Structure 1
Amino acid sequence: MRQVVGILLVLLAAFGLAQASPPKRVILGVGGKTAVVYLPLTVVERLGFFKEEGLDVVIQDLQAGSRALQALIGGSVEVTMGFYDHTIQMQAQERDIVAFVEVGRYPAIVLAVRSDLAGEVRGMADLKGRKVGVSAPGSSTHFFLNYLLVKNGLKPQDVSAIGIGAGAQVVAAVQNKQVDAISNVEPAITFLEERGLIKVLADTRSAAGARAVLGGEYPAAVLYTTRAWLERNPDTAQKLVNAMVRGLRWMQGKSPEEIAQVLPEEYFLGDKALYLKVLKNSLGSFSPTGRFSDTAPLRPLTLLSAFDPNVARAKIDLKRTYTNQFVDRAPK
């Protein structure tokens, strides 16, 4: 009898293992994984929150938001972590792209000129004819540059926008004088500031800065995908949101040192103390809840309409560019 019971238990265990669902594989593209604006993605990955949701998330670092968007449109990734403004741009092109969790509530993009040119370039008007480094043409750092140019009486064509990626590539581009100015994000900005290599002209790393430049809160880093994928994979989308919201909550109240402990060494660009300063100055830019406000999406629409004629003449339905349904269902 004991042998029979033992055999039955073994068979039941084997049956249970056979019935257990394998992790759901999701290919996710990100527009520069080491950029601080996308930091919660790495936090969630390193803490194992995706795995605990039963997901096998394969992250492709595509170095710039425009490339991550292209990968989504082309079908080589299923979900993108990039900036929300791409969902508006795509709707103007009759593509149905939906953001389903907000990660950043300020863009944290900075426009700065090389320090050795600060005497010549005192404001936006002085950038005419200059080379300005952006993460990639068509990315949100490029949108930010275009908006400020138009706002100050210039045209996007008045400067040469050059793709220089994010992180260490930005520092190298400034040090080697490949560009005259940059529109980019942390950690490169603080590294260049601390070395006296740039002078900041416009700064949206804080609530006050975003208010001064853009008028207030501005949905920035988000997870977005096609509406078709979202409708086919609601359970997977929910698990992605559960993990991201959990990560955003975990980050609340954590010190820069505690967050740095879960990051790979290469994120520090060889200066961990300075990176901790970057984190300290950046933590306020992340959403504490993952939820979109009803009014903030108007600001990216205003920004894009200033220089993109397709957006300006389109009848954009902002309610179709984002949803809070998954965030509202995330475990409390």
Structure 2
Amino acid sequence: MEKRRRFLASAGSLAVTGGLFGPVAAATPSRAVVSVPGPGNLLYLPLPLASRIGADLAEGLELDIRFTGGGPQAIRAMLERNSDFAAAGLSALALQKLNGKPVVCIAPMTRVPAYTLLVRAGLRGKVRQMADLQGLVVGVKGHVPGGRSTSQLFAEYLLARAGLRPDQVNYVSAGQSYDSQHAALVSGAVDALVGDEPFVTRLVRQKVAFALADFHDPETTRKQMGGLFLNGMIGTREDMVAGKPALVEKLVRTIKRTLVWVDTHSADEMVEALNPGQPEERRALRDVLRLRKNIYSPDGRISDEQLRTVDRFLRATEPAIAAQGLSVRSLVDARWAGSAP
């Protein structure tokens, strides 16, 4: 802890000095364990960044980040009380709610899906549109009983728009890391996958795969999905909200502080703060953030527009949502994050 304080002090961190949200919190922070898909996933980058810029310390919090193989695994770790909070896709959280799990969304991180559908290079010329994936293998994040990953739901959504049923392609887990996704494509274990940045940029540059559909741009998302879309978010259990509201508030304020920092700092400053180890990884992250920094919520408020889009998305991919009358709004607690139109 003291070593990190010295690092942040020498870096002149705006988050720690309290320039964004007020004075620095007390010296003894609370601890929050967060299960996070990764490492290295752009969707959930605000969490490791929060530690690097001292946003957690500024709110009297010390983040303990535990990386998992995907959003469903992160939610399971939280439900099994191996963590206090989980980073995941809101749609994956909704499926857990549908299955009776006591889950709550407390803060957003992104405002678009931030997924790219990649196809392995050997299929160039054979796969030109979504319908051409019929009978092929699509890689998604791992799933757990009672819930599919948001990446699988997203693949199903795109395929349904192309006239395919979910059972007309085969889904397998392609993992959460660059190495696992690279291996799945190179080996031919998958024909396509729902990919994450900055891994997508590296895979395309290496000519391992090509992009068939991309949902990082806010305007493209509005055009294709009818509105902005809340994907990356922070969830917790209902008993955490009821029993430890101060800890929940500290985490939400940490996320909001970090998102404001992202909105007011450059891609280069973000990479410098994160300091990835490998030159290729560093270069890809810098290039992606220069183009894609607007995937993040600028203020950490929960947007009604995004919730409406997720409702439509879920009704298109999971019939039980409509049958049970589940509204995404019912699993959101915006008292700390605040709401936006």
- C-alpha distance in 1 between matches for 2:51 and 2:256: 12
Range that drifts further, 71-80 or 163-172: 163-172
Range that drifts further, 23-32 or 86-95: 86-95
Counterpart mapping for 1:137-216 below 5 A: 137=143, 138-166=148-176, 167-216=178-227
What's 1:290 paired with? 300
Segments ≥4 residues shifted beyond 4 Å: none
User: Given that residues 104 and 220 in structure 1 are in contact (C-alpha distance below 8 angstroms), is that contact kept between their aligned partners in structure 2?
Assistant: yes
- C-alpha distance in 2 between matches for 1:87 and 1:188: 24
**What whole-Å deviation, never above 9, does each CA across 1:80-137 have from its counterpart, x for those lacking one?**
1111112322232233321111110111111121222021112122111111111224
Structure 2, gaps ≥5 residues long? 1-25
How many residues are treated as equivalent by the alignment?
309
Indicate yes or no: 2:133 matched with 1:120. no
Indicate yes or no: 2:311 matched with 1:301. yes
What's 1:10 paired with? none
Deviation at 1:269, TM superposition (A): 6.8
**What whole-Å deviation, never above 9, does each CA across 1:239-263 have from its counterpart, x for those lacking one?**
1111111111111132221111111
What's 2:330 paired with? 320
User: Given that residues 107 and 205 in structure 1 are in contact (C-alpha distance below 8 angstroms), is that contact kept between their aligned partners in structure 2?
Assistant: yes
What's 1:67 paired with? 73
| Structure 2 CA distance for partners of 1:62 and 1:277, relative to 1, 3 Å | same
Range that drifts further, 198-207 or 36-45: 198-207
Counterpart mapping for 1:245-256 below 5 A: 245-256=256-267
Indicate yes or no: 2:312 matched with 1:263. no
Secondary structure at 2:264's aligned position in 1?
Answer: coil
What's 2:9 paired with? none
**RMSD of equivalent CA atoms:** 2.0
Deviation at 1:22, TM superposition (A): 4.6
User: Given that residues 135 and 168 in structure 2 are in contact (C-alpha distance below 8 angstroms), is that contact kept between their aligned partners in structure 1?
Assistant: yes
| Structure 2 CA distance for partners of 1:191 and 1:169, relative to 1, 3 Å | same
- C-alpha distance in 2 between matches for 1:278 and 1:184: 13
Structure 1, gaps ≥5 residues long? 1-19
User: Given that residues 202 and 213 in structure 1 are in contact (C-alpha distance below 8 angstroms), is that contact kept between their aligned partners in structure 2?
Assistant: no
User: Given that residues 182 and 208 in structure 2 are in contact (C-alpha distance below 8 angstroms), is that contact kept between their aligned partners in structure 1?
Assistant: no
- C-alpha distance in 1 between matches for 2:317 and 2:105: 22
Deviation at 1:310, TM superposition (A): 2.1
Range that drifts further, 147-156 or 183-192: 147-156
User: Given that residues 32 and 65 in structure 1 are in contact (C-alpha distance below 8 angstroms), is that contact kept between their aligned partners in structure 2?
Assistant: no
**What whole-Å deviation, never above 9, does each CA across 1:147-186 have from its counterpart, x for those lacking one?**
1122222122222212122323212322332211111210
Deviation at 1:28, TM superposition (A): 0.9
- C-alpha distance in 1 between matches for 2:69 and 2:279: 16
- Identical-pair percentage: 28
User: Given that residues 43 and 247 in structure 1 are in contact (C-alpha distance below 8 angstroms), is that contact kept between their aligned partners in structure 2?
Assistant: yes
- C-alpha distance in 2 between matches for 1:93 and 1:274: 38
Secondary structure at 1:327's aligned position in 2?
Answer: coil
Range that drifts further, 309-318 or 96-105: 309-318
Task: From the CA coordinates, give the structure whose radius of gyration is larger.
Answer: 1
Deviation at 1:271, TM superposition (A): 4.2
Q: Which residue identity is paired with 2:282?
A: K
User: Given that residues 32 and 165 in structure 1 are in contact (C-alpha distance below 8 angstroms), is that contact kept between their aligned partners in structure 2?
Assistant: no
Range that drifts further, 193-202 or 275-284: 193-202
TM-score by length of 1: 0.87
What's 1:79 paired with? 85
What's 1:94 paired with? 100
- C-alpha distance in 1 between matches for 2:338 and 2:105: 14
- C-alpha distance in 2 between matches for 1:202 and 1:215: 16
Range that drifts further, 317-326 or 237-246: 317-326
Range that drifts further, 150-159 or 185-194: 150-159
**What whole-Å deviation, never above 9, does each CA across 1:188-227 have from its counterpart, x for those lacking one?**
1111222333222221111122123322200111111122
- C-alpha distance in 2 between matches for 1:244 and 1:168: 28
User: Given that residues 307 and 328 in structure 2 are in contact (C-alpha distance below 8 angstroms), is that contact kept between their aligned partners in structure 1?
Assistant: yes
What's 2:290 paired with? 280
- C-alpha distance in 2 between matches for 1:50 and 1:302: 34
User: Given that residues 146 and 156 in structure 1 are in contact (C-alpha distance below 8 angstroms), is that contact kept between their aligned partners in structure 2?
Assistant: yes
- C-alpha distance in 2 between matches for 1:115 and 1:275: 22
User: Given that residues 203 and 210 in structure 1 are in contact (C-alpha distance below 8 angstroms), is that contact kept between their aligned partners in structure 2?
Assistant: no
What's 1:39 paired with? 45
Q: Which residue identity is paired with 2:317?
A: F
- C-alpha distance in 2 between matches for 1:160 and 1:91: 26
Q: Which residue identity is paired with 2:194?
A: S
User: Given that residues 93 and 310 in structure 1 are in contact (C-alpha distance below 8 angstroms), is that contact kept between their aligned partners in structure 2?
Assistant: no
User: Given that residues 210 and 218 in structure 1 are in contact (C-alpha distance below 8 angstroms), is that contact kept between their aligned partners in structure 2?
Assistant: yes
